[in-house]
Amino acid sequence: MFAARYVPGKKELSLVDIPKPTPGPLDVILKVRAAGICHSDLHVLHGEVPYKETFTMGHEACGEVVEKGSEVTGTFNAGDLYAVHGPNPCGHCNYCRTGHDNLCNDPSRTFIGLGQDGAYAEYLKVPARNIVKVPKGISPEVAAVATDAVLTPYHAIKTKGGVGLGSKMLAIGLGGLGMNGVQIALALGAEVTAVDLKDANLEMAKSFGVQNVLNSKQISSLKPLSYDVVVDFVGLESTFKDAQNLVKPGGTILLIGLGSAQVPLTTATAITFETKVQASFWGTHVEMQELYALIAEGKIKPQVQTAPMKEVNHWLHELEAGRIKSRMALLP
Protein backbone atom coordinates (compact mmCIF):
# COMPACT_ATOMS: atom_id res chain seq x y z
CA MET A 1 0.00 0.00 0.00
CA PHE A 2 1.03 3.64 -0.43
CA ALA A 3 2.47 5.40 2.62
CA ALA A 4 4.22 8.72 3.29
CA ARG A 5 6.90 8.03 5.89
CA TYR A 6 9.15 10.09 8.08
CA VAL A 7 12.81 9.12 7.81
CA PRO A 8 15.13 10.67 10.43
CA GLY A 9 17.26 13.40 8.89
CA LYS A 10 15.10 13.91 5.79
CA LYS A 11 13.23 17.18 5.26
CA GLU A 12 10.46 15.58 3.19
CA LEU A 13 8.38 12.46 3.62
CA SER A 14 9.40 9.38 1.66
CA LEU A 15 6.60 8.11 -0.59
CA VAL A 16 6.88 4.33 -0.53
CA ASP A 17 4.99 1.06 -0.90
CA ILE A 18 4.73 -0.98 2.32
CA PRO A 19 2.68 -4.03 3.41
CA LYS A 20 -0.87 -3.50 4.61
CA PRO A 21 -1.01 -3.76 8.44
CA THR A 22 -2.60 -6.72 10.20
CA PRO A 23 -4.56 -6.27 13.43
CA GLY A 24 -3.54 -7.44 16.85
CA PRO A 25 -6.25 -8.95 19.07
CA LEU A 26 -7.49 -5.53 20.26
CA ASP A 27 -6.91 -3.55 17.06
CA VAL A 28 -8.96 -2.52 14.07
CA ILE A 29 -7.77 -1.75 10.55
CA LEU A 30 -9.15 1.42 9.02
CA LYS A 31 -9.31 2.07 5.32
CA VAL A 32 -8.22 5.69 5.45
CA ARG A 33 -10.75 8.09 3.95
CA ALA A 34 -9.01 11.34 4.92
CA ALA A 35 -5.98 12.54 6.88
CA GLY A 36 -5.38 16.11 8.01
CA ILE A 37 -2.04 17.88 7.78
CA CYS A 38 -0.81 19.98 10.67
CA HIS A 39 2.01 22.29 11.73
CA SER A 40 3.12 19.52 14.09
CA ASP A 41 4.22 17.63 10.97
CA LEU A 42 6.57 20.51 10.17
CA HIS A 43 8.03 20.46 13.67
CA VAL A 44 8.92 16.80 13.12
CA LEU A 45 10.43 17.37 9.67
CA HIS A 46 12.49 20.27 11.02
CA GLY A 47 14.00 18.02 13.66
CA GLU A 48 12.38 19.86 16.56
CA VAL A 49 10.94 16.54 17.75
CA PRO A 50 13.87 14.12 17.52
CA TYR A 51 12.25 10.84 16.53
CA LYS A 52 14.86 8.18 15.85
CA GLU A 53 12.67 5.66 14.02
CA THR A 54 10.98 5.64 10.63
CA PHE A 55 7.17 5.75 10.70
CA THR A 56 4.17 6.78 8.62
CA MET A 57 3.01 10.26 9.59
CA GLY A 58 -0.53 11.64 9.80
CA HIS A 59 -2.17 12.12 13.21
CA GLU A 60 -5.58 13.46 12.07
CA ALA A 61 -7.39 10.39 10.78
CA CYS A 62 -10.79 9.19 9.63
CA GLY A 63 -11.70 5.95 7.87
CA GLU A 64 -13.87 2.86 7.64
CA VAL A 65 -13.25 -0.27 9.71
CA VAL A 66 -12.44 -3.11 7.30
CA GLU A 67 -10.92 -5.64 9.71
CA LYS A 68 -10.88 -6.24 13.46
CA GLY A 69 -8.82 -8.24 15.92
CA SER A 70 -9.97 -11.47 17.51
CA GLU A 71 -10.92 -9.82 20.82
CA VAL A 72 -12.68 -6.76 19.41
CA THR A 73 -16.42 -6.86 20.02
CA GLY A 74 -19.15 -4.95 18.23
CA THR A 75 -20.29 -4.65 14.65
CA PHE A 76 -18.81 -2.23 12.13
CA ASN A 77 -21.06 -1.52 9.17
CA ALA A 78 -19.74 -0.77 5.71
CA GLY A 79 -19.74 2.96 5.05
CA ASP A 80 -19.67 4.00 8.70
CA LEU A 81 -16.91 6.47 9.46
CA TYR A 82 -14.66 6.35 12.51
CA ALA A 83 -12.24 9.00 13.67
CA VAL A 84 -9.04 8.25 15.56
CA HIS A 85 -8.21 9.69 18.99
CA GLY A 86 -4.64 10.67 18.18
CA PRO A 87 -3.20 10.79 21.73
CA ASN A 88 -3.55 6.99 21.68
CA PRO A 89 -4.12 6.57 25.44
CA CYS A 90 -3.51 3.23 27.13
CA GLY A 91 -6.92 3.06 28.81
CA HIS A 92 -5.46 1.71 32.07
CA CYS A 93 -3.43 4.40 33.86
CA ASN A 94 -4.92 6.73 36.46
CA TYR A 95 -5.27 9.57 33.95
CA CYS A 96 -7.18 7.37 31.52
CA ARG A 97 -9.43 5.94 34.23
CA THR A 98 -10.35 9.42 35.51
CA GLY A 99 -11.28 10.98 32.16
CA HIS A 100 -7.97 12.73 31.46
CA ASP A 101 -6.82 10.33 28.77
CA ASN A 102 -5.10 13.09 26.78
CA LEU A 103 -2.54 13.07 29.61
CA CYS A 104 -2.00 9.28 29.60
CA ASN A 105 1.34 8.56 31.24
CA ASP A 106 1.98 5.05 29.94
CA PRO A 107 5.73 5.20 29.17
CA SER A 108 5.30 2.94 26.14
CA ARG A 109 2.68 5.18 24.51
CA THR A 110 3.34 7.04 21.26
CA PHE A 111 0.89 9.22 19.37
CA ILE A 112 -0.81 8.01 16.19
CA GLY A 113 1.24 9.45 13.31
CA LEU A 114 3.77 10.98 15.69
CA GLY A 115 6.10 8.19 16.72
CA GLN A 116 4.08 5.30 15.33
CA ASP A 117 2.39 4.63 12.00
CA GLY A 118 -0.35 7.10 11.15
CA ALA A 119 -2.83 7.99 8.46
CA TYR A 120 -0.75 9.15 5.49
CA ALA A 121 -1.41 5.72 4.02
CA GLU A 122 -4.17 3.63 2.52
CA TYR A 123 -4.72 1.64 5.72
CA LEU A 124 -4.13 2.33 9.41
CA LYS A 125 -3.92 0.01 12.43
CA VAL A 126 -5.20 1.49 15.68
CA PRO A 127 -6.44 0.15 19.04
CA ALA A 128 -10.21 -0.29 18.85
CA ARG A 129 -10.61 1.64 22.12
CA ASN A 130 -9.27 4.76 20.43
CA ILE A 131 -11.80 5.22 17.64
CA VAL A 132 -14.97 7.32 17.75
CA LYS A 133 -17.96 6.82 15.46
CA VAL A 134 -18.64 9.85 13.29
CA PRO A 135 -22.28 10.96 12.98
CA LYS A 136 -23.94 10.69 9.59
CA GLY A 137 -23.64 13.79 7.45
CA ILE A 138 -20.10 14.70 8.48
CA SER A 139 -17.63 14.31 5.62
CA PRO A 140 -14.41 12.29 6.02
CA GLU A 141 -12.25 15.39 5.61
CA VAL A 142 -14.10 17.34 8.29
CA ALA A 143 -14.08 14.33 10.62
CA ALA A 144 -10.33 13.91 10.15
CA VAL A 145 -9.25 17.49 10.85
CA ALA A 146 -11.67 17.73 13.78
CA THR A 147 -9.56 15.17 15.68
CA ASP A 148 -7.02 17.94 16.28
CA ALA A 149 -8.06 21.28 14.78
CA VAL A 150 -11.41 21.20 16.62
CA LEU A 151 -10.57 18.93 19.54
CA THR A 152 -7.58 21.02 20.64
CA PRO A 153 -9.46 24.35 20.94
CA TYR A 154 -12.56 22.60 22.30
CA HIS A 155 -10.61 21.07 25.19
CA ALA A 156 -8.82 24.35 25.85
CA ILE A 157 -11.80 26.68 25.69
CA LYS A 158 -14.51 24.55 27.32
CA THR A 159 -12.59 22.37 29.75
CA LYS A 160 -9.47 24.30 30.70
CA GLY A 161 -10.76 27.84 30.17
CA GLY A 162 -14.26 27.29 31.52
CA VAL A 163 -15.77 29.47 28.78
CA GLY A 164 -19.55 29.49 28.89
CA LEU A 165 -22.65 31.64 28.69
CA GLY A 166 -21.73 35.31 29.09
CA SER A 167 -17.95 34.83 29.16
CA LYS A 168 -15.91 37.54 27.44
CA MET A 169 -13.27 35.80 25.34
CA LEU A 170 -10.53 37.21 23.13
CA ALA A 171 -9.01 35.00 20.44
CA ILE A 172 -5.55 36.01 19.19
CA GLY A 173 -4.88 34.38 15.83
CA LEU A 174 -7.40 32.98 13.35
CA GLY A 175 -5.60 30.11 11.71
CA GLY A 176 -7.18 26.67 11.54
CA LEU A 177 -7.43 26.23 15.32
CA GLY A 178 -8.39 29.84 16.00
CA MET A 179 -11.20 29.85 13.44
CA ASN A 180 -12.67 26.73 14.99
CA GLY A 181 -12.05 28.14 18.45
CA VAL A 182 -14.22 31.21 17.95
CA GLN A 183 -17.05 29.00 16.69
CA ILE A 184 -16.72 26.80 19.76
CA ALA A 185 -16.87 29.82 22.06
CA LEU A 186 -19.96 31.15 20.29
CA ALA A 187 -21.62 27.73 20.60
CA LEU A 188 -20.92 27.86 24.34
CA GLY A 189 -22.62 31.26 24.61
CA ALA A 190 -19.57 33.49 24.94
CA GLU A 191 -19.11 37.07 23.77
CA VAL A 192 -16.16 36.79 21.38
CA THR A 193 -13.59 39.27 20.11
CA ALA A 194 -11.09 38.06 17.50
CA VAL A 195 -7.86 39.60 16.23
CA ASP A 196 -5.70 38.56 13.28
CA LEU A 197 -3.26 40.11 10.82
CA LYS A 198 -5.27 38.99 7.80
CA ASP A 199 -8.46 40.89 7.00
CA ALA A 200 -9.77 37.88 5.07
CA ASN A 201 -9.64 35.82 8.27
CA LEU A 202 -11.49 38.55 10.13
CA GLU A 203 -14.23 38.55 7.49
CA MET A 204 -14.55 34.77 7.79
CA ALA A 205 -14.86 35.06 11.56
CA LYS A 206 -17.63 37.63 11.08
CA SER A 207 -19.43 35.19 8.77
CA PHE A 208 -19.51 32.70 11.67
CA GLY A 209 -21.11 35.27 13.96
CA VAL A 210 -18.15 36.99 15.64
CA GLN A 211 -19.29 40.60 15.96
CA ASN A 212 -16.07 42.11 17.31
CA VAL A 213 -13.08 41.70 15.00
CA LEU A 214 -9.90 43.73 14.81
CA ASN A 215 -6.67 43.69 12.83
CA SER A 216 -3.75 42.76 15.06
CA LYS A 217 -2.05 46.05 14.19
CA GLN A 218 -4.79 47.84 16.17
CA ILE A 219 -4.79 45.52 19.18
CA SER A 220 -3.54 48.38 21.39
CA SER A 221 -6.95 50.03 20.95
CA LEU A 222 -8.61 47.28 23.00
CA LYS A 223 -9.36 48.16 26.61
CA PRO A 224 -6.78 46.62 28.97
CA LEU A 225 -7.88 44.09 31.59
CA SER A 226 -11.18 43.44 29.80
CA TYR A 227 -11.45 39.72 29.02
CA ASP A 228 -12.30 36.74 31.20
CA VAL A 229 -10.32 34.45 28.92
CA VAL A 230 -7.67 35.29 26.33
CA VAL A 231 -6.74 32.45 24.00
CA ASP A 232 -3.30 32.78 22.41
CA PHE A 233 -3.45 30.63 19.29
CA VAL A 234 -0.09 32.04 18.11
CA GLY A 235 2.27 31.69 21.04
CA LEU A 236 4.78 34.40 20.20
CA GLU A 237 6.37 36.68 22.77
CA SER A 238 4.39 39.61 21.36
CA THR A 239 1.02 37.84 21.42
CA PHE A 240 1.56 36.53 24.95
CA LYS A 241 2.42 40.06 26.08
CA ASP A 242 -0.84 41.28 24.53
CA ALA A 243 -2.70 38.51 26.35
CA GLN A 244 -1.25 39.60 29.70
CA ASN A 245 -2.29 43.20 29.04
CA LEU A 246 -5.85 42.31 28.09
CA VAL A 247 -6.93 39.56 30.49
CA LYS A 248 -9.03 40.60 33.49
CA PRO A 249 -7.73 40.35 37.06
CA GLY A 250 -8.38 36.76 38.04
CA GLY A 251 -8.81 35.83 34.39
CA THR A 252 -7.23 33.07 32.34
CA ILE A 253 -4.72 33.07 29.51
CA LEU A 254 -4.98 29.88 27.45
CA LEU A 255 -1.70 29.05 25.75
CA ILE A 256 -2.21 26.89 22.66
CA GLY A 257 0.11 28.22 19.95
CA LEU A 258 3.68 26.96 19.61
CA GLY A 259 5.11 30.00 17.86
CA SER A 260 7.98 30.41 20.35
CA ALA A 261 9.81 27.90 22.50
CA GLN A 262 9.43 30.31 25.42
CA VAL A 263 7.17 33.24 26.26
CA PRO A 264 7.93 35.90 28.92
CA LEU A 265 5.67 36.11 31.96
CA THR A 266 5.60 39.47 33.74
CA THR A 267 5.55 37.96 37.20
CA ALA A 268 4.68 41.11 39.18
CA THR A 269 1.61 41.72 37.02
CA ALA A 270 0.58 38.07 37.07
CA ILE A 271 0.86 37.90 40.85
CA THR A 272 -0.87 41.23 41.47
CA PHE A 273 -3.82 40.33 39.25
CA GLU A 274 -3.85 36.59 40.07
CA THR A 275 -3.62 35.80 36.37
CA LYS A 276 -4.03 32.13 35.53
CA VAL A 277 -1.80 30.92 32.69
CA GLN A 278 -3.23 27.62 31.49
CA ALA A 279 -1.54 25.37 28.97
CA SER A 280 -3.69 22.89 27.10
CA PHE A 281 -2.94 19.69 25.21
CA TRP A 282 -5.14 18.05 22.55
CA GLY A 283 -8.32 16.63 24.12
CA THR A 284 -10.13 13.57 25.45
CA HIS A 285 -12.11 10.72 23.92
CA VAL A 286 -15.34 12.00 25.48
CA GLU A 287 -14.72 15.51 24.15
CA MET A 288 -14.38 14.07 20.64
CA GLN A 289 -17.90 12.69 20.93
CA GLU A 290 -19.17 16.05 22.17
CA LEU A 291 -17.60 18.08 19.38
CA TYR A 292 -18.89 15.77 16.63
CA ALA A 293 -22.39 16.35 18.00
CA LEU A 294 -21.84 20.12 17.68
CA ILE A 295 -20.55 19.72 14.12
CA ALA A 296 -23.55 17.54 13.22
CA GLU A 297 -25.85 20.26 14.60
CA GLY A 298 -24.12 22.88 12.44
CA LYS A 299 -22.79 24.85 15.41
CA ILE A 300 -19.17 24.36 14.31
CA LYS A 301 -18.30 24.42 10.61
CA PRO A 302 -14.64 23.51 10.08
CA GLN A 303 -13.25 24.93 6.84
CA VAL A 304 -11.29 22.22 5.01
CA GLN A 305 -9.50 22.04 1.68
CA THR A 306 -8.74 18.64 0.12
CA ALA A 307 -5.98 17.28 -2.10
CA PRO A 308 -4.61 13.88 -3.17
CA MET A 309 -2.50 12.21 -0.48
CA LYS A 310 0.37 11.60 -2.89
CA GLU A 311 0.84 15.39 -3.01
CA VAL A 312 1.59 15.49 0.73
CA ASN A 313 5.06 17.02 0.41
CA HIS A 314 3.79 19.81 -1.82
CA TRP A 315 1.06 20.70 0.63
CA LEU A 316 3.40 20.60 3.61
CA HIS A 317 5.52 23.18 1.78
CA GLU A 318 2.38 25.24 1.15
CA LEU A 319 1.48 24.99 4.83
CA GLU A 320 4.93 26.21 5.84
CA ALA A 321 4.66 29.12 3.41
CA GLY A 322 1.30 30.16 4.90
CA ARG A 323 -0.64 29.54 1.70
CA ILE A 324 -3.27 27.19 3.11
CA LYS A 325 -6.50 28.75 4.35
CA SER A 326 -7.91 27.06 7.45
CA ARG A 327 -7.11 23.32 7.29
CA MET A 328 -6.11 20.75 4.67
CA ALA A 329 -7.09 17.08 4.41
CA LEU A 330 -5.43 14.56 2.13
CA LEU A 331 -7.46 11.87 0.39
CA PRO A 332 -5.92 8.49 -0.59
Structure confidence by residue, pLDDT tens digits, 214-237: 999 999 999 999 999 999 999 999
Give the count of domains, the chain: 2
Q: What percentage of residues in the chain have a pLDDT greater than 70?
A: 100
Query: Vertex 189, ends 187 and 195: CA angle to 5°?
Result: 80
Indicate whether 199 pLDDT > 80: yes
In this structure, the answer to whether residues 123 and 207 fall within a common structural domain is no
Angle, helices 199-207 vs 176-187, to 10°: value is 30
We report the CATH number of the domain holding residue 75 as 3.90.180.10
The domain in which residue 109 lies consists of 2-133+302-331
Residue 245 inside a domain? The answer is yes
Residue 51 inside a domain? The answer is yes
pLDDT in tens, 284-303: 999 999 999 999 999 999 99
Give me the pLDDT at residue 181, please: 98
In this structure, the answer to whether residues 176 and 263 fall within a common structural domain is yes
In this structure, the answer to whether residues 116 and 53 fall within a common structural domain is yes
In this structure, the answer to whether residues 116 and 179 fall within a common structural domain is no
What is the Cα–Cα distance from 129 to 127, expressed in whole angstroms?
Answer: 5
**DSSP β-ladder status, 115-116 and 111-112:** parallel
Least confident of 55-69, 129-143, 238-252, 317-331: 317-331
Indicate whether 318 pLDDT > 90: yes
Mean pLDDT for 309-331 is: 94
Classify 267 as helix, strand or coil.
helix
In this structure, the answer to whether residues 249 and 317 fall within a common structural domain is no
Mean pLDDT for 55-69 is: 98
Mean pLDDT for 246-256 is: 97
Q: Are 225 and 218 in contact (CB under 8 A)?
A: no
Indicate whether 260 pLDDT > 80: no
Give me the pLDDT at residue 259, please: 79
Kindly indicate the confidence band of residue 262, based on its pLDDT and cuts at 50, 70 and 90. Answer: confident
Give me the pLDDT at residue 124, please: 98
In this structure, the answer to whether residues 66 and 155 fall within a common structural domain is no
Residue 288 inside a domain? The answer is no
Residue 223 inside a domain? The answer is yes
Domain end (from 279, 294, 317)? 279
In this structure, the answer to whether residues 213 and 270 fall within a common structural domain is yes
Residue 157 inside a domain? The answer is yes
In this structure, the answer to whether residues 116 and 155 fall within a common structural domain is no
What is the Cα–Cα distance from 294 to 134, expressed in whole angstroms?
Answer: 12
Which one-letter amino acid corresponds to residue 57? M
In this structure, the answer to whether residues 261 and 164 fall within a common structural domain is yes
Residue 287 inside a domain? The answer is no
* CA-based nearest residue to 252, from 207, 323, 185: 185
Residue 144 inside a domain? The answer is no
Residues 6 or more apart in contact with residue 311 via CB below 8 angstroms:
330
We report the CATH number of the domain holding residue 274 as 3.40.50.720
Residue 256 inside a domain? The answer is yes
In this structure, the answer to whether residues 9 and 127 fall within a common structural domain is yes
In this structure, the answer to whether residues 164 and 266 fall within a common structural domain is yes
In this structure, the answer to whether residues 107 and 67 fall within a common structural domain is yes
H/E segment holding residue 14 = strand 14-17
Classify 64 as helix, strand or coil.
strand
